[in-house]
Amino acid sequence: MSGETAPPLARSTLDRAAHRRTDPQWLAQAWQRARVLVLDSTREGRALVRADVNPPVLVFRDAAQVEAPGQVGAPGQVGSPGEAYPLFLGVEPDGVPVFAVDAPLPDLPDTRAAHLREIGHLLGDRDAGIFTTALALVNWHLGHGWSPRTGKRTEVDEGGWSRVDADGHRAWPRTDPAMIVLVHDGVDGPEGRCLLGNNATWPRTPGQRRFSCLAGYVEPGESAEAAVLREVREEVGVGVERIRYAGSQAWPFPGSLMLGYLAEADPGEPVRLDPTEIAYARWFTRREIGAVLAGRAVDAGDGDRVLLPPPSSIALFLVHRWLDGHC
């Protein structure tokens, strides 16, 4: 990840072709020649990748190989696992339309089921963008089978980019904005430090403790930068300044947009934890973080071995940005 200029799930080559979403005739014709990514929401949204290729490559199906009930481009039911209504994702540079369906994964030779968390950082730009968009859209549909205004059942419309109830009330996909920040001391070199926390809700692995950046949802009426100030103060009792935006990426688990920041704080300021949010927090030097990334054991301070965020997360992207001096 060192040297990367964009978070791992912020990459894409797909033209979303939004003007096609309201053209039922075009969508129906596009389905006949489409590449289709099958996701299985009953398996946490896993998709097939080739088992004989490294790095991983997504496996696509032809439309004729996928059972998708209903007329593509017309309103239809979707909102429960396995309801394989085609969701239009966009058009590839070669002109081929791409759809996703939520359905059981087929049993194909030389393939394996993989989760976006597991492989997102390993995928090429094209596959990373398709998988991220498909999973975000599938997860949105699963949570919006009924209208929040009327309580009535809704149907998918506009190629999967809206849902409408019998009274015509329409809803469009939404993502929840959240900030995530790498707090550091502004010091260059191996002894510069960053502040990482262990979330109180994360499952414990004996002998190991995972640390990550501080994060939280942006509240109504609040800017992302104001959320950085508030969340850091609430979670660890530290004030920050020199907040700098570093990038964003979707985090479709189930539907967030992570806005990444770097910010400075004084390591001499006492760390006061909110125990409902953060179980443990401490300052780490660049030397220590580099050691963890190199696979060497670093003591969390209580005998546990330090783990860092997963590679597909924007958190690790921010750690690398700080480690490489891009602050």
Token pair recorded at residue 237: 């009792």
Burial zone of 186 (CB within 10 Å; 0-12 exposed, 13-18 middle, 19+ buried) = middle
78/67 Cα distance (integer angstroms): 14
How far, CA to CA in Å, does 92 sit from each of 35, 138, 254? Answer: 9, 20, 25
pLDDT of residue 68: 64
53/284 Cα distance (integer angstroms): 37
Torsion angle of alpha carbons 135, 140, 142, 148, nearest 10°?
180
**Quick check: 73 pLDDT over 60?**
no
18-171 and 176-323 have identical folds:
yes
The architecture (CATH level 2) of 18-171 comes to: Alpha-Beta Complex (3.90)
Report DSSP letters for 273-327, one per residue.
Answer: --TTTEEEEEEEEHHHHHHHHTT---B-SSSPEEE---TTSHHHHHHHHHHTT--
* Reported pTM: 0.92
**Quick check: 37 pLDDT over 80?**
yes
pLDDT in tens, 139-194: 999 988 889 889 999 888 999 999 999 999 999 999 999 999 999 999 999 999 99
Q: Which of 298, 289, 291 is nearest to 320 (CA)?
A: 289
Per-residue pLDDT band at 84 (split at 50, 70, 90)? low
Q: What's the mean pLDDT in 116-142?
A: 96
pLDDT of residue 4: 63
Q: In the CATH hierarchy, which fold is given to the domain comprising 176-323?
A: Nucleoside Triphosphate Pyrophosphohydrolase (3.90.79)
- Whose structure tokens read 């194909």? 108
3-class DSSP state of 93:
coil
The residues spanned by each domain of the chain are 18-171, 176-323
3-class DSSP state of 266:
coil
